Amino acid sequence: MGKQLKRLCIADISFRQEGQLAQYIVETRLDAADLKYGPMIAGMIVTYAKNFVENAELGTLRKPFTQFSDRAMYEAHHTAMIVRHKVYAHRDLKAGLEFTHDDKELAETYEVRIRLHDDGIGYGANALLPDLPPDFLPSFIKLCELQHTRTKNELNALVKTVRNLGEYSAGDYVVGRDFP
């Protein structure tokens, strides 16, 4: 129960973090061409996916966090997990075949263009790094809100169960040491 309590508390915090970051990107209208956009999206997606990727200590979230009756929520979760694995955690060069920048064309993932200057010394380079488009963010914000609600509900039920198993008065406890 202690491990489950830790997993849910950490997941709850991360769902709120990435939801807030996505909301910030939307509210500030951060352009996808801005150099800060990619790292912010990467951090947001990796933080979300940590809750669902195997680890030795806390384990992963499973049902109900991986089931969705709403198609848009399923798509947001599925997309986040795919781009975590193929774009943000690993620079999968084949990701361009699967990853779409927008509805019209596939991204030319990791295409690098270089311009040499006439002086024989100078150059300029640019690389197309794939990122989720800004129009993904509203559904991702809703997904984070849904997952936060789920963690809150599971935590409430778990804490109630733990309190029924022992004598825990109001106070502060360290999970795994003195609770449960």
Domain ranges of the chain: 2-165
User: What is the per-residue pLDDT across 51-100, written as a single tens digit (0 to 9) for each?
Assistant: 998 887 788 888 999 999 999 999 999 999 988 988 888 777 666 555 54
Interatomic CA distance for residues 22 and 138, integer angstroms: 8
Interatomic CA distance for residues 31 and 45, integer angstroms: 17
User: What is the per-residue pLDDT across 121-162, written as a single tens digit (0 to 9) for each?
Assistant: 666 666 666 778 888 999 999 999 999 999 999 998 988 888
| Tokens 């499973």 belong to residue | 62
* Residue 103 confidence (pLDDT): 46
Tokens of 107: 């991204």
| Closest C-alpha among 122, 42, 51 to residue 89 | 42
Query: Is residue 25 within 8 Å of residue 40, measured between CB atoms?
Result: yes
147 contact partners, CB below 8 Å, separation of at least 6: 11, 15, 51, 65
More confident residue, 159 or 16: 16
* Residue 165 confidence (pLDDT): 81
More confident residue, 41 or 164: 41
61 alpha-carbon distance from chain centroid: 13
- Where is 124: in which H helix or E strand? strand 123-127
